[in-house]
């Protein structure tokens, strides 16, 4: 398989390896340590390791080699079982195929557990294995944060299906056919699969009025009532080709007290303020501060970040947060969530979340979530 988009990404990575004096990098995604960068660089969904050298050549060593030949993209594809499922032996073979000279610096993932790192260093003592907290992993994450043309085209499709599913859920809830959290969660899963999605982007959060006080309800859904009174929250995403959307709808009835009505109005206004503030070159901290100060002036506090990047993971760079550095900026190609929310132990919670694409000239809201008034 030869896919131009993966080759292009590996070429960009190779140039950075060269700049940093690294001969190669290993990206690993197995059950004990997941990393979606594997799929980003070669298309293999999981359970494999990938080695890319500073010339852009690559070796993919996969547990399911049949799947790798169908979905993966690399110069060489090998079965992990040929090496006894031992990473050190697999790496040694990859280094030979790629012509990595002894003494060369090779980067390992920053997430590599210390015992595994020691084992690899001892087994591959002819090479200089480096494992750095802010190493090449950070560069790959930055690459992933700025979506390329292929990814942006895909996201417009994902947003379309996400909007359609939100419309369907609203209609069914209003008709009374989805009356429990379980009903909603299973409906989402079924209809997502019918649309051709790989599944949900993450476990759907369906919280009826008795559980919406939680930022992320636990468990994520129950057999309890949904949208029968007060404030209910629905947070979900659709996954296509590995990429997920992330939206939150709130469902509210017309028998609310004044404090609940105030919460709803504040969240809707905070969402508007944040979206209008987004654009290329805008400080992440500035956008987050606008919303935090808006809530504070009204006597409320939002206990979570304003938003985050999405992609192959539900939470990616960048993060719109009060913890962001002043020089962290929104850039063209970023797709971020804007998700202001307020929560109260007795009144319940309300959140509104949409996905926003940062362009060269501004920002486009690509999903159309809302607070549904029943």
Helical segments of the chain, H only:
4-20, 37-42, 65-71, 87-98, 114-123, 136-145, 149-175, 181-194, 258-277, 284-297
105/76 Cα distance (integer angstroms) = 21
Closest C-alpha among 108, 132, 134 to residue 121: 108
- Per-position pLDDT tens, the chain of length 374: 458 999 999 999 999 999 999 999 999 999 989 999 999 999 999 999 999 999 999 999 999 999 999 999 999 999 999 999 999 999 999 999 999 999 999 999 999 999 999 999 999 999 999 999 889 999 999 999 999 999 999 999 999 999 999 999 999 999 999 999 999 999 999 999 999 999 999 999 999 999 999 999 999 999 999 999 999 999 999 999 999 999 999 999 988 999 999 999 999 999 999 999 999 999 999 999 999 999 999 999 999 999 999 999 999 999 999 999 999 999 999 999 999 999 999 999 999 999 999 999 999 999 999 999 99
The pLDDT of residue 187 is 98
Cα gap 374→166, rounded to integer Å: 14
Residue 2's pLDDT is 54
Cβ burial, residue 196 (10 Å; 0-12/13-18/19+): exposed
Q: What is the pTM of this model?
A: 0.94
Dump pLDDT digits (tens) for 365-374. Answer: 999 999 999 9
Query: How high is the pLDDT of residue 3?
Result: 86
Q: For residue 307, what are the β-bridge partners?
A: 320
């Amino acid at each position: 398989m030869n896919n131009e988009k993966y080759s292009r990404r590996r070429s960009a990575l190779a140039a950075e390896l060269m700049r940093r004096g690294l001969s190669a990098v290993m990206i690993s995604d197995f059950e004990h340590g997941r990393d979606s960068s594997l799929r980003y660089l070669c298309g293999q969904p999981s359970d494999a390791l990938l080695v890319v050298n500073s010339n852009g050549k690559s070796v993919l060593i996969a547990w399911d080699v049949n799947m790798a030949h169908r979905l993966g993209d690399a110069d060489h594809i090998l079965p992990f079982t040929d090496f006894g499922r031992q990473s050190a032996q697999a790496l040694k073979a990859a280094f030979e195929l790629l012509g990595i000279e002894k003494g060369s610096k090779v980067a390992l993932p920053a997430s590599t557990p210390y015992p595994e790192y020691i084992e690899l260093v001892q087994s591959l003592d002819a090479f200089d294995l480096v494992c750095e907290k802010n190493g090449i992993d950070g560069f790959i994450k930055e690459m992933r944060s700025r979506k390329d043309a292929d990814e942006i085209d895909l996201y417009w499709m994902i947003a379309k299906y996400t909007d359609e599913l939100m419309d369907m859920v609203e209609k069914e809830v209003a008709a009374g056919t989805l009356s429990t959290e379980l009903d909603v969660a299973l409906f989402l899963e079924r209809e997502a699969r019918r649309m051709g999605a790989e599944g949900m982007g993450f476990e759907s959060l369906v919280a009826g009025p008795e559980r919406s006080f939680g930022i992320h309800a636990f468990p994520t859904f129950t057999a309890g009532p949904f949208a029968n009174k007060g404030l209910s929250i629905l947070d979900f995403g659709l996954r296509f080709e590995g990429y997920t959307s992330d939206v939150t709808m709130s469902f509210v009835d017309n028998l609310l007290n004044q404090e609940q009505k105030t919460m709803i109005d504040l969240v809707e206004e905070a969402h508007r303020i944040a979206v209008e503030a987004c654009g290329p070159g805008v400080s992440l901290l500035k956008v987050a501060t606008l919303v935090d100060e808006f809530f504070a002036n009204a006597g409320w506090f939002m206990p979570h970040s304003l938003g985050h990047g999405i992609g192959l993971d539900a939470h990616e760079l960048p993060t719109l947060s009060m913890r962001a550095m002043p020089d962290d900026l929104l850039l063209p190609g970023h797709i971020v969530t804007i998700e202001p929310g307020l929560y109260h132990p007795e009144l319940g919670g309300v959140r509104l979340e949409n996905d926003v694409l940062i362009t060269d000239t501004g920002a486009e809201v690509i999903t159309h979530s809302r607070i549904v008034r029943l």
